Amino acid sequence: MKMVTAIIKPFKLDEVREALSAMDVQGITVTEVKGFGRQKGHTELYRGAEYVVDFLPKIKLEAAIKDDQLDRVLEAIEKAAQTGKIGDGKIFVSDLEQVIRIRTGEVGPEAL
């Protein structure tokens, strides 16, 4: 099993969700986050006071999937979240040791 974590532009969330549901991904977790990467921040000016805003709002999306889904999931996220401009985000993949469905007690791939 794999854990896929993607940082994407907030307005791309719906497209990514649609692409993932279309391919049998059973659930995702979404968090509003802030961070910095290669995309520069911007400055805000209030009367005389200037503030540099380094952290930009992004969406963090997490999905636990079966090993054989990985390539298709990565491709789907990449395609749906891409604008071609700086700041599109990143996808991180890690091994997932165990999954438990709390309601039934199922474990492993059955629980996904």
Partner 1 sequence: MKKVLASFMLLAVLFGAVSPSFAEEAAPVAEAVMATTEAPAAEAAPAPVPDKGDTTWMMLSTLLVILMIVPGLSLFYGGLVRAKNMLSVLSQVFGIFALISILWVVYGYSLAFGDGGSMNWAIGDLSKMFLAGMTGDSTAATFTDGVVIPEFTFVAFQLTFAAITTALIIGGFAERIKFGSLMVFSALWFTFSYLPIAHMVWATGGYLFEKGALDFAGGTVVHINAGIAALVGAIVIGKRIGYGKEPMAPHNLPMTMIGASLLWVGWFGFNAGSNLEATGGAALAFLNTIVATGAAALSWMGAEKVLRGKASMLGIASGAVAGLVAVTPAAGLVGPMGAIVLGLIVGPVCLWAVSGLKKSLGYDDSLDVFGIHAIGGIVGAIGTGIFVSPALGGVGIDGYEMGAQVITQATGVLITIVWSGVVAFICFKLVDMVMGLRVSEEDEREGLDTATHGERAYNV
How buried is 98 (Cβ within 10 angstroms: 0-12 exposed, 13-18 middle, 19+ buried)? exposed
User: Which H or E run contains 59?
Assistant: strand 56-65
Please tell me the count of residues contacting partner 1 according to CB under 8 A. Answer: 8
Residue 62, C-beta contacts closer than 8 angstroms, at least 6 positions apart: 3, 4, 5, 6, 28, 29, 30, 31
User: Counting contacts by CB under 8 A, is residue 51 touching partner 1?
Assistant: yes
Nearer of residues 18 and 44 to partner 1, judged by Cβ: 44
State which of residues 45, 85, 94, 102 lies at the interface with partner 1 (CB under 8 A).
45
Check residue 36 for interaction with partner 1 (CB under 8 A): no
Locate 93 and state its tokens: 């993949």
Least separation in angstroms between residue 13's CB and partner 1 is 21
Question: Counting contacts by CB under 8 A, is residue 57 touching partner 1?
Answer: no
Q: Kindly list the residues in this chain that would bind partner 1 in the complex (CB under 8 A).
A: 44-49, 51, 53
